[in-house]
Amino acid sequence: MVNTLRMLGRTGLDFFQRLGRAHLLLLAVLAGVPPLALRFSLVIRQLHSVGVLSLLIILVSGLFVGMVLGLQGYNTLVDFGAAESLGVVVALSLVRELGPVVTALLFAGRAGSALTAEIGLMKATEQLSAMEMMAVDPVRRVLSPRFLAGFLAMPLLAAIFSAVGVLGGWFVGVGLLGVDDGAYWSQMQAKVDLYDDIWNGVVKSIVFGAVVTWIAIFEGYDAVPTSEGVSRATTRTVVHSALAVLGLDFILTALMFGD
């Protein structure tokens, strides 16, 4: 009994200590972002590895999710004789919800885990220590550019996901199931609101991008510097990012569309 309590206490304490360290790290990382304006090439390289390398999985997934939406949406709508509204259904689902959320989950799996593994390995092989001894702050040199790149890449990836998804829905709905082409696009244009739908979706994807990247670089930087420690940190990145994204999605949705 006492032991159980003690273990609970220790787990709780560990959790809050990690949370504290994560916030301190975030502050240090953010302080390193403005100077990057002078060395933007560092960010470009990271944008390539975070963004461009995630592109393929985002394109393929977006296409399939859009096609499934087209199929499911058509089957429901056709019962109400509202098949022309398919464009609206597909676009709203993607822009408001699936675009930011699915992209963030894929981003955590593809880019987040890679970031954690890379930073954790740099720590395990003393590269971060060596930088410190060369009077180069690894937080500013290694973490800040990666954070900024993740922050910038995620909304763009989510936009691409939604755009490809709309095309996937069009392909199934208009191309295969015979929904009217003009109706698909004109209904979408009429019913999707720039502020209420698109902008809110963009806000979600910005928040998710920041949170996922933050978790990924913190887990890497805080990893136990052994191969086992790095592999556990990588797993944690994916799990914690997924939980954070889904939890935040509920909160943000409630705030944005709740009234």
Binding-residue pattern over the window 141 to 160 for other proteins, x denoting contact by CB under 8 A: x-------------------
Candidate list 137, 180, 248, 253; residue touching other proteins; CB under 8 A: 137
Among candidates 100, 207, 219, 210, which has minimal Cα distance to 147?
210
Assigned token pair, 194? 């720039």
| Angle formed at CA 158 by CA 157 and CA 162, multiple of 5 degrees | 115
Residue 102: burial class (beta carbons within 10 Å; 0-12, 13-18, 19+): buried
Q: Is 129 in the site for other proteins (CB under 8 A)?
A: yes
- Residues whose CB is less than 8 angstroms from the CB of residue 203 and which lie 6 or more positions away in sequence, other chains included: 252, 256
| Least CB distance to other proteins at residue 136 (A) | 5
Residue 7 burial (CB count, 10 A): 10
Q: Is 132 in the site for other proteins (CB under 8 A)?
A: yes
Q: Is 134 in the site for other proteins (CB under 8 A)?
A: yes
Q: Segment near other proteins (CB under 8 A), from 67-75, 126-134, 157-165, 215-223?
A: 126-134
Residue 250 burial (CB count, 10 A): 9
Q: Segment near other proteins (CB under 8 A), from 53-61, 135-143, 172-180, 204-212?
A: 135-143
| Least CB distance to other proteins at residue 141 (A) | 8
- Residue 106 near residue 208, CB atoms below 8 Å: no
Nearer to other proteins, 29 or 67 (CB): 29
| Least CB distance to other proteins at residue 239 (A) | 26
| Least CB distance to other proteins at residue 126 (A) | 4
Q: Is 136 in the site for other proteins (CB under 8 A)?
A: yes
Candidate list 127, 202, 203, 206; residue touching other proteins; CB under 8 A: 127
Binding-residue pattern over the window 86 to 125 for other proteins, x denoting contact by CB under 8 A: -----------------------------------xx--x
Q: Is 56 in the site for other proteins (CB under 8 A)?
A: no
Q: How many CA atoms lie within 13 A of 162 on its CB side?
A: 27
Q: Is 133 in the site for other proteins (CB under 8 A)?
A: yes
Among candidates 63, 88, 61, 65, which has minimal Cα distance to 76?
88
- Residue 138 near residue 126, CB atoms below 8 Å: no
Q: Is 253 in the site for other proteins (CB under 8 A)?
A: no
Task: Write the single-letter amino acid at 250.
Answer: F
- Residue 205 near residue 99, CB atoms below 8 Å: yes
| Least CB distance to other proteins at residue 113 (A) | 17
**Residues of this chain that bind other proteins (CB under 8 A):** 121-122, 125-127, 129-137, 141
